[in-house]
Amino acid sequence: MKKRALLEFTIDTERAASELTEIISTILAVHPGRELEILRALDEEIGLALIRAEE
């Protein structure tokens, strides 16, 4: 059986940006050495979301 670590988050949608920032920081902290991989994947998704939002 594969060991998994799960985190659950509740987001206050009135503070979405700051809440997401805290979540990203938490995820990065539990994945040392994978920060760039995670941040690059987020950068790609955010970039695509920005393109869609600006259309």
Q: What is the pLDDT of residues 15-44, one digit of tens each?
A: 999 999 999 999 999 999 999 999 999 999
Tell whether the model's pLDDT for residue 3 goes beyond 90.
Answer: no
Name the pTM for this structure: 0.83
- Consecutive H or E run containing 45: helix 35-54
With a CB cutoff of 8 Å and minimum separation 6, the contacts of 28 are: 35, 38, 39
pLDDT tops 90 at residue 5: no
Element (H, E) at 50: helix 35-54
CA distance 31 to 40: 14
